[in-house]
Amino acid sequence: MRDYYIAGNWKMHKTRAEAADLAKALVDGLKGAKHKYLVAPSFTALETVAPIVKGTNIRLGAQNCAQEEQGAHTGEVSVLQLKDLGVQTIILGHSERRHVYGESDALINKKVKLALKHGFEVILCIGETLDEREAGAAEAVCEAQTVLGLAGITAADMANIVIAYEPVWAIGTGKTASPEDAEAIHAFTRKVLTNLYGKDVAEKTIIQYGGSVKPENAAQLMAKPNIDGALVGGAALKAETFVPICKFD
């Protein structure tokens, strides 16, 4: 049985003081809640949020990392620096990294391997654009991103991998894939994982949905058999919207 896993990606929002206020509100609001939770603040707020969530049921996540451990990489953040701050999970391959900053599947795969090497949990994001969906290529795109993103990753490594399906056309647009559309890609992705690693690993792998998740649609999405949680953007920026998503049932 897979546990539900709800993650909040704060993206490029929140000063340190604002991040602290939100983290404290979430710690209070989710005290005793039964699922797995994560917040991913901006790099500048990680050190502020870390002691607030430490020892609670909320994991500390980072939104990205560099593909190298250290060196002459101006503007990048190292896995060693993230570990030093107490980060437990790294989100990789987010559509904004792919489509705005041009990250390739090969680069993302290199980051996945490096993060796993250093003991992090990884949330690997996949998802198609609107043009790709309308061209009937949604499954092909998601399969390629999954297979290439996990290249060289062993079945044992998969214990520390979460997949997040985020249709690019539904991120920050207010549009949401219908629960049926989302479930179809989640079920397909689980078949891809079965082909790669076998049924046992595929059945244990958490696949989150990301794309305009709100308190109003969370329960419908989570009711689907292959949707195991959510990677939440805008609604994660306020406790009054994120907590109800986390407590959807």
Residues in a beta bridge with 37? 6, 58
b vs e for 160-170, b when ≥16 Cβ sit within 10 Å of the residue's Cβ?
A: ebbbbbbbbbb
Single-letter residue type at 246: C
- 207 backbone dihedrals φ, ψ, rounded to 5°: -120, 110
The span from the CA of 196 to the CA of 38, in Å, is: 27
| Structure token pair of residue 185 | 């890609």
Contacts of 214 (CB under 8 A, 6+ apart): 176, 235, 241, 245
53 contacts 39 by C-beta, under 8 angstroms: yes
Of these residues, 143, 166, 183, 186, which one is catalytic? 166
Of these residues, 94, 121, 128, 143, which one is catalytic? 94
13 is catalytic: no
Q: Where do we find the tokens 């980051």?
A: 111
The span from the CA of 50 to the CA of 27, in Å, is: 12
Compute CA distances 177 → 54, 108, 153, 186, whole Å. 34, 25, 29, 12
166 is catalytic: yes
What amino acid positions are annotated as catalytic residues?
94, 166
